Amino acid sequence: MIKVIVGPRRAGKSFFALHFLNKKGNFGYVNFDDEKLIEVNDYNEIITAMNSVYSNPKFVLFDEIQNLPKWELFVNRLQRQGYNLIINGSNSNLLSKELATHLTGRHLLNNIFPFSFKEQLSSNKKIYCIDNGFIQANSFKTSPDFGKLYENIVACNLKKQEIDGKLNFYYWKNQQQEEVDFVVKEGIKIKQLIQVCYNLNEINTKNREIRALIKASKELKCNNLLIITEGYEKEKQISWFGIKRKINFIPLWKWLLRDIS
């Protein structure tokens, strides 16, 4: 099944795809923003070069595939040959009606939703940015703050669902300044509490996130607890001062794919 990721430029499509593929091991990558590639007449040359560079990968990411003439014929052929394909491109050129025509019965569509800079979400004055690259470019840090980047991605995903009318979300903070990143509501019911914790190896950070989640669970009467991580996945029963809760840990890439898997 071909996975299709659409959205405007700099919306995070490549980040999303590469993060997913990093979990799969060896994969091939071809970026069709390169004018030399789109001038190739024999597309077999592209595959030959890719197989040589990436040692015959079974998973392949085609970036900005809409730039390649007759891309849909090329992609369909590779899918029939057994390649696991992820393709992405601007949604103005990869419209859903076009996909339905060209990739009927063969694709799963995922939209990466954009926000303008400093657009305020409905999460109690927390501010997120659509462009994680912008966050890094305007930071004086020498290394990326993946925790903030991960939280930003989750916020954008939830905001899209909120605009689609599927949910509302907020954040929770108590008098001790302990926080839960996202309180998800469907109608009047609190459906889920979500923490985003990139690095679970830092014990103090892990305990702080879990403690706040359990406290919010008791106060808000919600037992559906989730921690989104870099790669850790497990379901655990955790106790804090006599309060027992089941907490699910899930990697970000898997959480993002939950609707199309």
User: What would the mean pLDDT of 191-198 be, rounded to a whole number?
Assistant: 94
Same domain, 169 and 242: yes
More confident residue, 202 or 246: 246
User: What would the mean pLDDT of 172-179 be, rounded to a whole number?
Assistant: 91
Hey, what amino acid is at 217? S
User: What would the mean pLDDT of 165-174 be, rounded to a whole number?
Assistant: 90
Q: Going by C-beta distance under 8 Å and a sequence separation of 6 or more, which residues neighbour residue 48? A: none
Q: Going by C-beta distance under 8 Å and a sequence separation of 6 or more, which residues neighbour residue 149? A: 132, 135, 136
Domain end position, chosen among 64, 94, 111: 111
Range with the lowest mean pLDDT among 4-8, 79-83, 188-192, 213-217?
Answer: 4-8
pTM: predicted TM-score of the whole model, two decimal places? 0.53
> What CATH number has the domain bearing residue 42?
3.40.50.300
Which CB contacts under 8 angstroms, 24+ apart, belong to 235-239? 238/210, 238/214
- Per-residue pLDDT band for 120 (boundaries 50, 70, 90) equals very low
Same domain, 8 and 104: yes
Same domain, 86 and 156: no
User: What would the mean pLDDT of 102-123 be, rounded to a whole number?
Assistant: 58
Q: Is residue 133 a part of any domain in this protein?
A: no
User: Quick check: 137 pLDDT over 80?
Assistant: no
Q: Which residue has the tokens 């954008």?
A: 156
Centre a 10 Å sphere on the Cβ of residue 153 and count the other Cβ atoms it contains: 24
User: Quick check: 129 pLDDT over 70?
Assistant: no
Q: Going by C-beta distance under 8 Å and a sequence separation of 6 or more, which residues neighbour residue 108? A: 1, 2, 3, 4, 260, 261
Q: Is residue 72 a part of any domain in this protein?
A: yes
Same domain, 47 and 93: yes
Closest CA to 212 of 230, 198, 197: 197
- Number of separate domains in the chain: 2
Mean pLDDT across the chain? 80
Identify the domain containing residue 54 by its residue range.
2-111
Contact 74, 47 (CB under 8 A): no
Q: What is the pLDDT of residue 36?
A: 83
User: What would the mean pLDDT of 196-216 be, rounded to a whole number?
Assistant: 91
- Compute CA distances 4 → 26, 45, 94, 202, 247, whole Å: 19, 23, 9, 35, 31
Classified as helix, coil or strand, 130 is: coil
